[in-house]
Structure 1
Amino acid sequence: MLKKCIALFLLMCASLFVLQPTVLACTGFIIGKDLTEDGSWLYGRTEDLEPNHNKTFVVYPRTDNPEGATWKDEANGFEYPLPATSHKYTAVPDVTPEQGVYDEAGFNEHGLSISATVSATANDKILALDPYVENGLAESSMASVVLQNAKTAREGVELLAKIVTEKGSAEGNIVLLADKEGIWYMEILSGHQYVAIKFPSDKFAVFPNTFYLGHVDFSDTENVIASAGVMDLAKEAGTYQEVDGAFHIAQSYNPPLSDGNRSRSYSGIKALDPDADITYEDEYYELLHSSDKKYSLADAMALQRNHFEGLDLKPLDQMELDGKGKPDGKKAVDGYAYPISNQNVMEAHIFHLKDSLPKEVGGGVMWLAMGSPRNAPYLPYYGNITDTYKAYQDKSTEYSPDSWYWVISHINDMAAQYPDEFGTEVIDEVKALEAEWMTQQEALDKEMISLVASDPEKASELATQESMKRAEETFARLKEIEGSMEERVAALPTDSADTETTTSSTNNLLMLGIGALIGLGIVGLAIFYKKSKAES
């Protein structure tokens, strides 16, 4: 994902100092309902940008808008008319709207859910003919515009298609939209080209920051929505590629596969299917994968926490501990690579969509891990909640003891910095809590189904009360864990810290020192921004 230029400049400068590289990356996944233990759809994403980047979780109420009102993206100037009434929706926004709202993920009141986005970029030859539009639709606006306007997943795809056609896209993006009819997977390829498919129920996919669509039947308008010139643009650019005798979208539009995308594609596919017929050296990875296995919500959580378990790869953040030097971005070296789970993950979400749950509650549950899920718990939220716990709404841009994100960030920092002291004790407790909540959720689902049918307003009140209670209890426990860890760290010898990560306070101090690099930073920014668009 791409933030405003100042943020990119700061991140570029900071990366010269800190032990952990700053990278721009997200990883999405879908598991079709024919492949799950309970017949549900599972989909979601890790939002991966940098450490120490606060996120919030909020509910926007249904809003009547004055005639002529518009949505405006402060990040790039994109504008779009607001509807007469904006739908109520849940979201996970940034705390700096002047740099872009980035609502990212949520349900609206009509049972539409969205995860937006996994950033990607087309190759230079494509972009020479159809460049991204500076004030076009960007990730920073996408979830907000769709959830306020659309009622179904197809309607959301059609809205995005209309906007990209008329106003252009500011970036390449992969976006997921879902409702009671299933999941749509959409790639916005270049300034005005896009392809969306209704995801097959018997496949799974794992997709970091590159395009994956291969063969698509453009004549199947029930399951495919595409711009008119996708194939012609590739031919005109001289990048048109066929695989097995048919036009292949990703091979025609992508730049070469980067190390960071390779490692996350390979490890993610292997995490779900260790028997998958792929190798780490493959030139590219297809979007759709079959499996004889049946997957659970816990498997989806494990995927987003994947750290190369069972593979002959080590996370880049292990290099320093092994005396191999400092990692360089997402570049793989000597068996070290960039994993799905890393300290740059600011939040992770999983939508668990069930046929039995009515659209009034979202048709399912969003399990949200605020902060990196390496030690952060996933809590379940229906789409019909009317408010969120106060710790989710703290907008501090530096450590705050009242912020869910910052408390988790601090816990993650200490667990990573002192692995010999803390081991896996935090994540072990977190997983035990999640197992309890999954069992509780089954009972609550039955109650919610019955209550929605008789009194939707009471169902909303119950969903809100239950989620508030769980969040309050969980945050209190997280604060206890944080305090205990602080006491244990204070009692350790001063040389006992590992160099796997820097703490929030250390990162903040380092950031204060980058002013001296402003002269060099102007040149570096241009290089970094171009690289970010190529790899994120």
Structure 2
Amino acid sequence: MPCTTLLVGRRASADGSPLVARTEDSSAGSFDPKRVVVVRPEDQPRTYTSVLGGRTIELPGDPLRYTAIPNALPDEGIWGCAGINAANVAMSATETITSNPRVLGADPLVERRGGQPGGFGEEDFVTLVLPYIRSAREGVERLGALLAEHGTYEMNGIAFSDAEDIWWLETVGGHHWIARRVPEDHYVTMPNQLGIDSFDLADAEGPGRDHLASPDLRDFLREHRLDLTLREDGQSADVFNPREAFGSHTEHDHLYNTPRAWYMQRTLSPHAEDWDAGAPGASPDSDDLAWSRRPEHLLTIEDVKDVLSSHYQGTVFDPYSARGTDAERRAFRPIGINRHNALAILQIRPDLPESHRALQWVAFASLPFTTLIPMFTNVETAPTYLATTDASVSTDSFYWTSRMIAALADPHFHETIPLIERYQQRTMALGRAAVHAADGTAAEAGTSADVPSLLAAANTEIAEQVRAETDALLAQVLFTASDRMTNRFSRSDG
């Protein structure tokens, strides 16, 4: 499934929180309504069967409570999207990534054929992993073990975070995987392309400080001659480039993937390169854009939302701009695209008590036109406005209201974007104030057992405040779009 991921290490974020952010985007020509849920231990299945893969697994009997953003229509499975568990561990799932025939010939994807089950995939991973882990590293290890035993039918990248670290795992063929710890002072940009550009086998096979992998990865590389690294005399054979070994550099990547990474890095590290000169490593079609970089200032939730909403503003590639030719304005796949299902920004705040340190910021539909609602995750239920989504279009649902606003505003972008920007600033300020107030209330609670109900009330209050603002915006955008309909006419027109 097409998506975009941005990871921010704790020393690169404004408040010292590791940030895991990912848009879930539906395939072209389809939309998948989403809702937010809290899965309690008694609601977690003990026997699980993948809808798409058809594979059945017995799950441990001691799951943790966790949040998720599943499909509102469960005909194709759960698709948990992203969440945070009761141990304050976050997980995204997943960034669909690329591979090449050499890898897929060496370790084929596990397909469902003739009644035989396939492997697990994006549909399954949050449900199978997040309730059973107590650190980001444990998330990598549990998912890695599941991949080795059951395999997967697709290539994916998955992030895990706790209060200290972010780990990024990429599947390599049907059963193999690699994972890197995100440098604490860096951010990582991930479009739908295998991204890790350097890997240390010795660390993965030894202490695993920054690298983890399938135990047989070195043999896998050697047997199938996958390592394409050109080495100077004496250069270590332990370090190789996974992007060359396992990834792709196709024309599709240059139109669909690399421009997104280029624009995110151009925005967050504007002086690091001459981004508009077309130089290697700094152009929209570059095959060697860095996997991670240091930002030029500490990054905020607003920075993350903005960059994942972007459509190449300030360049000739912006589809809403008068700059550039028609071909240039449609040249690249925007980051902020029409078929966003959801955005989750997962924030674990290490300087706060465990009872209220975790926040899941949620937006639905096309991100240039929508806002974020913060939700504390140490709760038993999600706010109604975030949880109420089904097949019926309704303004009772944040998902459907956000999608209506985007569809109405898009044809009248320049007339409506000032309204939307003011709405985004108001609602983000409301969210910030609500989080600050709830932190204070939680800190004054009698016991940690009192905190979940206080946080649930705060979640509902801010969701309802954003609901009122969203309804007001819908009315304004509807009026603007109606007033500019093609069949408009008045006596004064003549």
TM-score per shorter chain, which class?
0.7 to 0.9
The residue aligned with 1:9 is none
- Cα deviation, residue 31, structure 1: 1.4
Task: Identify which of 137, 145, 159 aligns with 1:154.
Answer: 137
Is 1:296 the counterpart of 2:300 in the alignment? yes
The residue aligned with 2:194 is 211
- Cα deviation, residue 130, structure 1: 0.5
**Does the 8 Å CA contact 1:43/1:350 hold for their aligned counterparts?**
yes
Amino acid at match of 2:88: G
CA displacement 1:126-185 (0-9 Å, x = unmatched) = 101201112212011101111222222222111101111111122111101111231111
Task: Identify which of 18, 41, 53 aligns with 1:76.
Answer: 53
**Does the 8 Å CA contact 2:416/2:480 hold for their aligned counterparts?**
no
Task: Identify which of 99, 106, 109 aligns with 1:132.
Answer: 109
Matches of 2:321 and 2:127, distance apart in 1: 37
Task: Identify which of 239, 251, 267 aligns with 1:271.
Answer: 267
The residue aligned with 1:310 is 314
Is 1:441 the counterpart of 2:445 in the alignment? no
Task: Identify which of 189, 192, 200 aligns with 2:175.
Answer: 192
**Does the 8 Å CA contact 2:197/2:291 hold for their aligned counterparts?**
yes
TM-score w.r.t. structure 2 length? 0.86
**Does the 8 Å CA contact 2:197/2:241 hold for their aligned counterparts?**
yes
Q: What secondary structure is seen at the aligned counterpart in 2 of 1:337? A: coil
* 1:434-473 paired onto structure 2 within 5 Å: 434-451=428-445, 454-473=446-465
Deviating more after overlay: 233-242 vs 404-413: 233-242
5+ long unaligned stretches in structure 1: 2-24, 326-332, 497-536
Q: What secondary structure is seen at the aligned counterpart in 1 of 2:185? A: coil
Matches of 1:322 and 1:48, distance apart in 2: 27
Task: Identify which of 334, 337, 358 aligns with 1:342.
Answer: 337
Amino acid at match of 1:123: N
* 1:95-494 paired onto structure 2 within 5 Å: 95-134=72-111, 135-220=118-203, 221-242=208-229, 246-257=239-250, 258=253, 259-277=255-273, 278-315=282-319, 324=326, 336-361=331-356, 363-451=357-445, 454-494=446-486
Matches of 1:65 and 1:389, distance apart in 2: 20
The residue aligned with 2:278 is none
The residue aligned with 2:279 is none
Matches of 1:284 and 1:236, distance apart in 2: 26
CA displacement 1:430-473 (0-9 Å, x = unmatched) = 2222023224423432432453xx42222101110011111122
**Does the 8 Å CA contact 2:109/2:173 hold for their aligned counterparts?**
yes
**Does the 8 Å CA contact 2:166/2:181 hold for their aligned counterparts?**
yes
Compare relative contact order (CA 8 Å, sep 6+) and give the higher one, 1 or 2: 1
Matches of 2:383 and 2:437, distance apart in 1: 22
Matches of 2:421 and 2:329, distance apart in 1: 28
Matches of 2:69 and 2:296, distance apart in 1: 34
**Does the 8 Å CA contact 2:178/2:213 hold for their aligned counterparts?**
yes
The residue aligned with 2:63 is 86
- Cα deviation, residue 349, structure 1: 1.4
**Does the 8 Å CA contact 1:208/1:265 hold for their aligned counterparts?**
yes
CA 1:429–1:477: 2 relative to 1, 3 Å: closer
- Cα deviation, residue 428, structure 1: 2.2
Q: What secondary structure is seen at the aligned counterpart in 2 of 1:200? A: coil
CA displacement 1:92-121 (0-9 Å, x = unmatched) = 000232302111111111111111110113
Matches of 2:318 and 2:224, distance apart in 1: 38
Aligned residues: 459
CA 1:265–1:440: 2 relative to 1, 3 Å: same
The residue aligned with 2:32 is 53
The residue aligned with 1:516 is none
Amino acid at match of 2:396: D
CA 1:92–1:489: 2 relative to 1, 3 Å: same
Deviating more after overlay: 171-180 vs 38-47: 38-47
Q: What is the Cα-based RMSD across aligned positions, in Å? A: 2.4
CA 1:350–1:70: 2 relative to 1, 3 Å: same
Q: What secondary structure is seen at the aligned counterpart in 2 of 1:156? A: helix
CA displacement 1:59-89 (0-9 Å, x = unmatched) = 11121779xx411111221222122132211
- Cα deviation, residue 323, structure 1: 8.4
Matches of 2:106 and 2:227, distance apart in 1: 14
Matches of 2:172 and 2:217, distance apart in 1: 9
Deviating more after overlay: 266-275 vs 34-43: 34-43
Matches of 1:309 and 1:64, distance apart in 2: 44
Matches of 1:126 and 1:473, distance apart in 2: 50
Is 1:41 the counterpart of 2:18 in the alignment? yes
Q: What secondary structure is seen at the aligned counterpart in 2 of 1:251? A: helix
- Cα deviation, residue 360, structure 1: 3.3
Matches of 1:197 and 1:420, distance apart in 2: 42
Q: What secondary structure is seen at the aligned counterpart in 2 of 1:276? A: coil
TM-score w.r.t. structure 1 length? 0.80
- Cα deviation, residue 193, structure 1: 1.0
CA 1:39–1:127: 2 relative to 1, 3 Å: same
**Does the 8 Å CA contact 1:271/1:306 hold for their aligned counterparts?**
no
**Does the 8 Å CA contact 2:389/2:400 hold for their aligned counterparts?**
no
5+ long unaligned stretches in structure 2: 112-117, 274-281, 489-494
Amino acid at match of 2:452: S
**Does the 8 Å CA contact 1:360/1:383 hold for their aligned counterparts?**
no
Matches of 1:88 and 1:271, distance apart in 2: 37
**Does the 8 Å CA contact 2:310/2:335 hold for their aligned counterparts?**
yes
